Amino acid sequence: MKEGKRELRLEGIQSETVMDGADMRARVYTLAAGQRIPWHYHSKIADAFFCLDGPMVVETRAPGAKHLLHAGDRCTVPPMTAHCVYGANDGSCKYLILQGVGEYDNHAVGG
């Protein structure tokens, strides 16, 4: 997947790339208890989250929402929407994320 600006680096978070195409990417992330994907947004792509093991929370701003996902549940965050991801009650979780269609970028947002 073509990449643009990257402000957010995910240190210590387990991930596996399942597919990386010209304008789409699929990854599996495993968050240990207490780990979070910090607040950020993408200017051109959407993130589609599929919970594999949870529960997990996908939290968004503007519109503000907390999407509680259990295994088998999904939600999509459109471009230009700040979001963060974490296990419910600071627990662990595992999810598949599809990112696209377009150039990947990420922009950090204050927590």
pLDDT of residue 9: 76
Q: Specify the CATH number for 3-108; select among 2.40.110.10, 3.40.710.10, 2.60.120.10, 3.30.70.100.
A: 2.60.120.10
pLDDT of residue 11: 85
Q: Provide the β-strand partners of residue 97.
A: 27, 49
pLDDT of residue 1: 67
Dmax over CA atoms of the chain, in Å, equals 36
CB 26 within 8 A of CB 19: yes
pLDDT of residue 81: 97
For residues 28, 44, 79 and 108, what is the CA-based torsion angle, rounded to 10 degrees? 70
Per-residue model confidence as pLDDT tens for the chain (111 residues): 677 777 787 889 999 999 999 999 999 999 999 999 999 999 999 999 999 999 999 999 989 999 999 999 999 999 999 999 999 999 999 999 999 999 999 999 986
- How far apart are alpha carbons 85 and 81 in whole angstroms? 13
| Tokens of residue 49, six digits | 């989250």
